[in-house]
Amino acid sequence: RQMVIFEFARVGEIFWIEILALRSSFFNMVVGPYLALAVIQSRGWPYICIFWPVLNFCFLYGNHEFAKHWLFWQDMLDIFNEVNPVDGVTDDNFYFRLLMVMIFIGVTVSLKRLTIALYLGRRTVEHFGVELEKLMAK
């Protein structure tokens, strides 16, 4: 189940970053330039580090039946129902802390990348601004 959630996070990265954020001006208009740049800068492992735990909280964390077994209502395959015990992994405090640490690390790295991108972008404009104006005037 973890691999399925991981693949959902990877597909989400392709959809949100590669398709919406980089190829659509609508995304930039809706969320604003800074948030759009933050999403773009989180590309790669920081995105996965944020949204894999978020999806885990949605689909795998907790003490309810769906978190323990996705196919809990069927009786044909015992591996997918209560016959195969979970033994408290999905609602363990360590699992919760691990997911929170992953989100924190992903957000921190994304904010660091955003800060560096803004800083280097401003420096580039300050240094090459006059030449850029000449080039754009042509």
The whole-angstrom separation of Cα 79 and Cα 118 is: 50
- Within 10 angstroms of residue 51's Cβ, the number of other Cβ atoms is 22
Residue 67: pLDDT above 90? no
The per-residue pLDDT for range 77-95, each reduced to its tens digit, is: 766 667 677 777 777 889 8
The per-residue pLDDT for range 1-46, each reduced to its tens digit, is: 788 899 999 999 999 999 999 998 888 899 998 999 999 999 999 9
Q: What is this structure's pTM?
A: 0.77
The whole-angstrom separation of Cα 43 and Cα 117 is: 13
The whole-angstrom separation of Cα 50 and Cα 31 is: 18
Q: Judge contact between 54 and 110, C-beta under 8 A.
A: no
Residues composing the chain: 138
